[in-house]
Structure 1
Amino acid sequence: MGENHYGEISIPKILIDEEIMAQITKDFCLNEIDVFLTSDVDSYESNGVISYSDAMASGGCFDELESLLKQRRIPFDRYSSESYDYPPERVYFRPDREEGKEEICIPLDYDGETFIQVCYLQPLLTLSPLQMQVELQNLINKHDPQVTPLAEYVMQNPSLMSNEQGDDQDGLY
């Protein structure tokens, strides 16, 4: 994924400490004086989640920041738009999932919607209606799994708040 295209990453605000903020600043060139005048970098907050986007992210990803978040076991969501060689994708990292399954990567169609390839659907045509329904639901669960939204996830996992942070820290952004 060597070319640059749109990427957006969302992180719970309360979990952004100085180390993570330093990486965000580096990845998004936030210490540059003209960053918001001359680039396609943006950020916004909604429901306690900070989202950073860059229209020229390398591969639509934020490799160093994502690596740090995984290492620190901090949940995040990432969306990467399509490029010439790659379809868009949505990535969810939830550290409490079974080891090896913490990251969910969902390829999207060029409209940004999940899809199931025909080669997975064709074998269902030979099944009984009840079997077809069960197998179709299994395919949907595999290709478009239900993922708890970040704001809810943080509320449901209070142990994240003690993830190497002091009790008096509200997070930085």
Structure 2
Amino acid sequence: MGGGWRTCDGPGCGKTVPTTSGTGRPRRYCSEACRSRWRRVAARIRRRQALREDRTEALCEPRHELRAAAYRAAAAARALAALVDAEEARGEGEMEDRHWHPERAAALYTRAARTLAEAAEDVLAAAVRADRTAGDSWAAVGRALDVSADTVARRHRRAARLSNIRPVAPNGPDPG
């Protein structure tokens, strides 16, 4: 076997490396420093991939909870709209005596709106849990809600603890 040349596989190196003239594998790195640098880079890449996989897996349940809460809120909104539409469809003559109708429950609109508001609060709580699980800080969630980080944490931390969901990793720039 002849003694050929190849480029060092070290990250950003580009030096030429002599291949071995004897038996065995050809050299990949020009020095031990390049080999160590490559191992550190490869380990960092593996850690990032593992974090991404963990974050994706951890987000499955909060996303499901958020979707379910959003559908409940949408159903409550449709129920309120249907109630208003049904009242309007009855006509003006029937609207005057609607308070005396024995089948009509008291404060019908208010109860339907309250159900919608409770469903909207559930959606907000599920969204906060999903964002926190994704790694967003209390400050980022607070900015989205136009409140301080302390306020949003005080309002939602207990619910996050009760659901046993913890953030996987901070959602910031990747290190080097």
> Scaled by the length of structure 2, what TM-score is found?
0.28
Q: In proportion to residue count, which structure has more strand?
A: 1
**What TM-score results when the alignment is normalised by the length of structure 1?**
0.28
Which has the larger Rg? 2
Structure (1/2) with the larger helix percentage: 2
* Bigger relative contact order (CA 8 A; separation at least 6): 1
